[in-house]
Structure 1
């Protein structure tokens, strides 16, 4: 999703939202939970978006996309703005914990005016990567995790509530996911006085950035969980309002929980491994196993580690974005306007990598739209919308049902 504030003729800044059409296009429910209302919102192809950016004037443009999408838009925008005397300040970054593909994801985001780092630790790592390849690192701007909030934990609820924050792609295997689900159900049986919740990212059929091949909703159908066990959806902050113990493998929800000083556990049952992402929590004091939890163990977070993670549990969250605001203001007031966008990846530095990234968004090596690129001039009609939804459903069905069967057959 890309959003761009502009000046409204009525009062103050306005916000236009553009949803990049694809398998991860947010649903209305997911957009509602964001809590930010756009003055206008529409779904577009990459080419439609670039054409709009060439024609309209904005002050700030936020590219809220996966790395490849950001890189494609940076090159496309560079081409779209090449004959303009002014352009918006371009901002990008990450929503949560960066525990994998650090160099790859960062270099795909290089070229934006601001690359937001959600913690002091991330800011140090981001600059080291950029400087290590000889790229300009001045865009790295330290902020804090953007979704923190809620009242601090004040003591046990009635009933005492344990929440397992599931992730769509961690762990991946049926065996590991079934193991975690069984341990959660066993915990509910051991403690009938507790409420045990499985917090899921999305409802069946909804789009997510990471497609879930083995959703817990399907796996739990094979079990017979007790009455004090149930599935929950919705805003994580609302679930944390009634949480006494947050358990996860490596979800960013752990940092939301730590921010509110809720007892938080990062599981070690499947090992502490980069593939799981729980290696990010080494030194946090939160690592523990289900056996330890069942025995009554409650980890105590390491305050110094927490302070480096952008969770600002000391209450300074209100000023955490001041540096970003100041940098944007300086760029907007820069004499002579902003220079052209200059991503690290170019046809010279990455001739075997960049063209493929751009082609996925129907852009040529120089950022211009390829012949035949989809770019509708009007909103699709009802029939086309139905076909599109059906195609997305078929894609998800193929990923979640057909692909696992083919893989299992290949292992015979």
Structure 2
């Protein structure tokens, strides 16, 4: 296997990952730095630097679209350029057309299951866009030891999500039911698995973190809050409960009994509609009474989880990424190099939408940096670092504390 060098660029913003979050990914970069969009594009334009073979845009849809247009501007007609890869990591249950079209223009758009690949191609072909970039793979973080039987003690894990459900009432309801389940089953260990520690953010903003809602509550001895890698928590899980988290697919892949809650309804806004037909939908009342879900094997297979069994069972998950590898190899060997990036959204197809997306990253309608765009290549000094941390803290405080108060005042 040839030597591989991995350079990481962290796009500066409200969701820039912390050192802890990066450690949990389990992949260590040879170099890592935080950049603005313009700094990143400038780095990609330096012909004197070593040419990259593959460039992965691991961003939300608007960020991907901005970088695609920015890269198109800096690379122009250059044929010797990296293969650009993007996609989703998780359940695609909302903004399907919007998110997909914002990712169009990359050489490869990864789909995490057969179902997603079919849906992605339907969207692209439905608007007359090239769908050849869609490449079926699987969720990249599946794996781990398959579930072989109950642990001692029997462990129930609720996988929290930062933005689902959204309201204080609904989140408090779920927390109270989890606590009540722990009281009804003192022989069980009940864990509330949290996505982020206080002050951290993921892609989605969490205005009402569960750890805040749990403050002051009389918690039973068998109830606790846990952080850390989801895979490590699943190693000791006997029942995974969630509203619509991707953790459900992780659990199903390992054959861990999994429940997607129906208490708040089965609704697109919650994302649990994605699990219709899975056999996993159930309520807290049913779980309190001892219900054990049985997943539908055909549904599970279409989601790209436990396909043909887990890898340890000789299944096909370990080969799920062969198509992407082959596609990258094919593109890199293409005679004459690669064509210019060609996103579906242009100032002709989306003149009222695209310029605003690009402007958020200080790019003009043609992908060129706007006058005055932040583009310093120098590492920030200690004072600037302190100011930046303070600004992020103020932003997060506003999101998690001030905004909910203003919203409640508006409802009076």
- Please list, as runs of the form range in 1=range in 2, the aligned pairs for 1:10-409 lying within 5 A after superposition: 12-55=3-46, 56=49, 57-82=51-76, 84-313=78-307, 314=309, 315-409=315-409
Q: Which 10-residue stretch deviates more, 83-92 or 191-200?
A: 83-92
How far apart, CA to CA, are the structure 1 residues paired with 2:168 and 2:249?
A: 26
| SS across alignment from 2:377 | coil
Deviations 1:218-257 (A, max 9, x none): 1111311101000000000000000000000000000000
How far apart, CA to CA, are the structure 1 residues paired with 2:377 and 2:191?
A: 46
| SS across alignment from 1:324 | helix
1:85 CA displacement:
3.6
TM-score, L = length of structure 2 = 0.97
Contact 2:78–2:340 (CA<8 Å) still a contact in 1?
no
How far apart, CA to CA, are the structure 1 residues paired with 2:210 and 2:361?
A: 32
1:407 CA displacement:
1.2
1:13 CA displacement:
1.8
| SS across alignment from 1:14 | coil
| SS across alignment from 1:408 | helix
How far apart, CA to CA, are the structure 2 residues paired with 1:218 and 1:13?
A: 43
RMSD: 1.0
| SS across alignment from 2:170 | helix
TM-score, L = length of structure 1 = 0.97
Segments of 5+ residues of structure 1 without an aligned counterpart are 1-6
Superposed structure 1 runs of 4+ greater than 3 Å apart: none
Contact 2:79–2:340 (CA<8 Å) still a contact in 1?
no
| SS across alignment from 1:198 | strand
Segments of 5+ residues of structure 2 without an aligned counterpart are 310-314
How far apart, CA to CA, are the structure 2 residues paired with 1:53 and 1:188?
A: 52
| SS across alignment from 1:150 | coil
How far apart, CA to CA, are the structure 1 residues paired with 2:306 and 2:66?
A: 33
| SS across alignment from 2:6 | strand
| SS across alignment from 1:144 | coil
Contact 2:77–2:340 (CA<8 Å) still a contact in 1?
no
Count how many residue pairs are aligned between Structure 1 and Structure 2.
403
1:84 CA displacement:
2.7
How far apart, CA to CA, are the structure 2 residues paired with 1:312 and 1:126?
A: 22
| SS across alignment from 2:8 | strand
1:382 CA displacement:
1.1
- Aligned match of 1:3: none
How far apart, CA to CA, are the structure 2 residues paired with 1:193 and 1:387?
A: 49
Contact 1:144–1:312 (CA<8 Å) still a contact in 2?
no
Deviations 1:371-396 (A, max 9, x none): 00001121101111111011011001
How far apart, CA to CA, are the structure 1 residues paired with 2:32 and 2:88?
A: 22
Contact 2:362–2:370 (CA<8 Å) still a contact in 1?
yes
